[in-house]
Amino acid sequence: MSDLPNRNKFERKLTSSIAEYMGTINGELRSKKIRTSDAYWKTKSKDFASVIETPVRDIVTQSLKKHGADLKTKSGKALRDRLIADIVDDQTKSFHIFQLAQSRKIKDSLKGKKQTTDLIAMKADVIAGVAKSELLGRTIVTKANTMAAEGLADELNLKSPLDKWMTRPGYCSICSGVRKQPRKLWNKLGWRFENGPPAHPYCNCYIIYKNL
């Protein structure tokens, strides 16, 4: 099967939702300075889960349909709901870990410097600005598409050593090494490509399945 249908639309919609939420965080960081407590980012991560849940549901549903899943059946609906929950949980944990680590790193870099309004604003944009929203939007679409397709392939026992890693136009040097390569070469335990796309932030690759 080919890439996720209407992928660009999903990216725009998810990025827009994340950007709106990040704007709230950005404002808090500017007004209260850089926040580095685990409790703060845990709270923000829970809110983040609510922001991405509906877009993820739409992506998973579209991906499963594209790969032939029957979502009218009890088993099909159960698979969809399980995948949505797993993806939202996975991305929420990643958000918490990354945002906490980055905010602490940035706060450390500010030690000894005069923390002007402009400097804090610039750092707030790094943590919760437009670029971060775009990064998350694209990466989560890729992750949701992959996890949905892989989940269905596992459920039906239809994974093949010949499933191929595919790139989209403008692919990077990282993914060029696995472009059009079969699963038997990239799906190796402990390797960076083990779980399929995304291989890195902003990655928009996908898998073509021999049996789906």
Confidence at 193, pLDDT banded by 50, 70, 90: confident
pLDDT for position 125: 87
- Which helix H or strand E contains 166, and what residues bound it? strand 164-166
Yes or no: say if 44 and 22 are a contact pair by the CB < 8 Å rule: no
Global pTM value: 0.89
Sequence-separated (6 or more) residues with CB below 8 Å from residue 113: 119
pLDDT for position 73: 93
Confidence at 189, pLDDT banded by 50, 70, 90: low
What are the two backbone dihedrals, phi and then psi, of residue 74, each rounded to the nearest 5 degrees?
Answer: -60, -40
Q: Which amino acid is residue 122, in one-letter code? A: M
Yes or no: say if 19 and 133 are a contact pair by the CB < 8 Å rule: yes
Q: CA-CA distance, 92 to 48, in Å (whole number)?
A: 7
Please state which of the ranges 36-50, 71-85, 120-134, 196-210 shows the lowest mean pLDDT: 120-134
Confidence at 1, pLDDT banded by 50, 70, 90: low
> Rounded mean pLDDT of 188-192?
74
DSSP type of residue 208 = E
Q: CA-CA distance, 4 to 118, in Å (whole number)?
A: 41
What are the sequence ranges of the domains in the chain?
7-158
Neighbours of 15 (CB within 10 A): 21
> Rounded mean pLDDT of 142-166?
93
Mean pLDDT of the chain: 90
> Rounded mean pLDDT of 109-134?
85
